[in-house]
Structure 1
Amino acid sequence: MTAYIVKRILLMLPTLFGVLLLTFVVTQFVPGGPVEQYIAEARRGAAAAGDAGGYRGGQGVDPKKIEQIKALYGFDKPPAERFWQMLKQFAQFDLGRSFFQNKDVWQLIKEKLPVSISLGLWTFFISYLIAVPLGVAKAVRAGSRFDLVTTLIVLVGYAIPGFVLGVALLVVFGGQLQWFPLRGLTSSNWEELGWGARIVDYLWHIAMPVTAMVVGSFAVTTMLTKNSFLEEIRKQYVLTARAKGLSERRVLWKHVFRNALIPIVTGFPAAFIGAFFTGALLIETLFSLDGLGLLSYESVIRRDYPVVMGTLYFFTLIGLFTKLISDLSYVWVDPRVKFD
């Protein structure tokens, strides 16, 4: 086991290097970088105020000013040197500083995490709390009217995009009925409220975004649970347990449950960690929630390369270690599994 873990960790290094190298190369060929955006802003400023940032009408921006901007952003160095410098910073867990927000990337991630954690964790826990019991019930009642009706409901929910459902919730419950707030994670006077009122206010604001994300997120887990249980129920050891006179409840929860949950439990670490960092761009934008999804989108649009590369490095590390934990969880669930 130790040798396997060490080997997997060593394999993470070339994987991480390849991801960073590929993304860095792609960003070098994308037009509209920070320098080009500065020139465009200088032109707009000159049109509005007469002169800004060294813009000189038909002659464009002063070349000396452009060189200063390139030096400020580090574009006065060759790409290979910039990539090597970035790797040395990342090795020290220094993710750099945003070009446009004048903040460290770490600070930006910390600021956006509460929103993403709120959406992700609620979606994760509610989805699993609904999906696993529902999948077990469907497997026990396979082919019944309950199974057919719940399958139809689950698939309809899965087919409706989250942002479409979010718009419907905003129009009906936020606009017409005015039962829930239209935007934000908390009210403007949240700091002035007591702890009980804060919890109620938070749940009041998070209800519609979480509903929009949950409805379509538990279909796969539900059907996976059902199919896993059906496969186990039909095996010989279940027939033997029933022949010995064990109750159906004991057979289901003591013998079938552990084996059937192997594909679900092994995906649990990835789903749990993903709840923190995935980010739901459309939901965050729709409900005016400033989370990691919106941060990633805006950094790509604005060509804020330190934020793009820094968050990519951080999320890739999390993803690689989560994949390792998911693989190790096979042994925890089923000791018969041997990696050698």
Structure 2
Amino acid sequence: MASYILKRLLLMIPTLLGVLIVTFAVIQFVPGGPVEQLVSQLQGRDSGGERASTGGAGYRGRQGLDPQRIEEIKQFYGFDKPAHERLWIMLKSYARFDLGTSFYQRKAVWELVKEKLPVSISLGLWTFFISYLIAVPLGVAKAVRAGSRFDFGTTLIVLIGYAIPSFVLGVALLVIFGGKLQWFPLRGLTSPNWESMAWGARIIDYLWHIALPVTSMVLGSFAVTAMLTKNSFLEEIRKQYVTTARAKGLGERQVLWKHVFRNALIPIITGFPAAFIGAFFTGALLIETLFTLDGLGLLSYESVIRRDYPVVLGTLYLFTLIGLVTKLISDLCYVWVDPRVKFD
């Protein structure tokens, strides 16, 4: 087991390097980088000023900026160095877990990630826990009552919920309960006066704000887990050891929870670490935009649009590293759940 973990940890290094190098190479060919954007803004600003002062005669914006000014801008963003040198500097910084500084917000990438985490954690963890609390018992009940009206009705509801995109449901909830009935707030994670509230009022206010976005995300997310739980239980119930346990006179409840439950939950439990960690860092871009929630999803999208490369590459490095570690933990869960699995 120790040698397997060591091998997996060592394999993370080339995987992480490959992801960063490929992304860095692609970025070099993407038009409209930070230098071009700032030059364009300065030209527009200069042209407007010159036009106002010279009455429309030849203005500096048409002629472009001075080469020296452009070189200063390149130096400001670090683009005065060759690509391979910039890549090497970036990798050395990442080895020290220094993710750099945002071009536009002039903040450390770590600080930006920590600022956005509360929103993403709120959306992700509530969605994760509520989905599993609904999906696993529902899947077990569907497996026990397979073929019944309950099974058919819940399957229809689950599939309808899965077919409705979360942002479409979010719009409907926002219009009905936030706009027309005005039962829930339209934006934000908390009220503006949240800091001055008592603790009980803070909790109620937070839950009041998070209710609609979490509801719109939960409806579709628990469908896959519920159907996976049902199919896994059905597969285990039909195996020979279950028939043997029943033949020994064990009650149905004892057979189900003592013998079937552990084996049937192997696919669910092994995916638990990835789903749990993903709840922290997987941003729901459309939901965050719809409910004006400033989370990691919105940060990533704005960084790509504005070509904020330190944020793009820094968050990519962080999330890739977390994803690789989580995948290792998921694989190790197989041994914990099923001792028959041997990695050698």
TM range (shorter): over 0.9
Supply the distance in 1 between the matched residues of 2:43 and 2:340 (Cα, whole angstroms).
68
| Alpha-carbon offset, residue 39 of structure 1 | 1.2
RMSD over equivalenced CA pairs, Å: 0.9
Structure 1 length normalisation: TM-score?
0.98
The corresponding residue for 2:185 is 181
Supply the distance in 1 between the matched residues of 2:26 and 2:303 (Cα, whole angstroms).
15
SS of aligned partner of 2:182? coil
| Alpha-carbon offset, residue 206 of structure 1 | 0.1
Structure 2 length normalisation: TM-score?
0.97
The corresponding residue for 2:76 is 72
Q: Deviations over 1:168-220 (max 9, x none)?
A: 00100000000000000000110110000000000000000000100000111
The corresponding residue for 2:337 is 333
Matches for 1:259-274 after TM superposition, within 5 Å: 259-274=263-278
Match of 2:251 among 238, 247, 250: 247
| Alpha-carbon offset, residue 59 of structure 1 | 1.1
Q: How many residues align?
A: 337
Letter in 2 for 1:31: P
CA distance change for structure 1 residues 315 and 140 in 2, over 3 Å: closer, same or farther?
A: same
SS of aligned partner of 2:100? coil
| Alpha-carbon offset, residue 43 of structure 1 | 2.3
The corresponding residue for 1:308 is 312
The corresponding residue for 2:43 is 43
| Alpha-carbon offset, residue 45 of structure 1 | 1.6
Supply the distance in 1 between the matched residues of 2:158 and 2:127 (Cα, whole angstroms).
16
| Alpha-carbon offset, residue 61 of structure 1 | 1.2
Q: Deviations over 1:241-285 (max 9, x none)?
A: 000000000000000000000000000000000000000000000
Post-superposition, which runs of at least 4 consecutive aligned residues in structure 1 deviate over 6 A? none
**Is 1:12 aligned to residue 12 of structure 2?**
yes
The corresponding residue for 1:292 is 296
- Long gaps (5+) in structure 1: none
The corresponding residue for 1:216 is 220
The corresponding residue for 1:33 is 33
Q: Deviations over 1:43-78 (max 9, x none)?
A: 232244448xxx922211111111001011111111
Letter in 2 for 1:141: R
Is this contact kept in 2: 1:56–1:62, CA < 8 A? no
Supply the distance in 2 between the matched residues of 1:32 and 1:177 (Cα, whole angstroms).
44
SS of aligned partner of 1:179? coil
Supply the distance in 2 between the matched residues of 1:179 and 1:45 (Cα, whole angstroms).
45
The corresponding residue for 2:260 is 256
- Counting aligned pairs with the same residue, the percent is 80
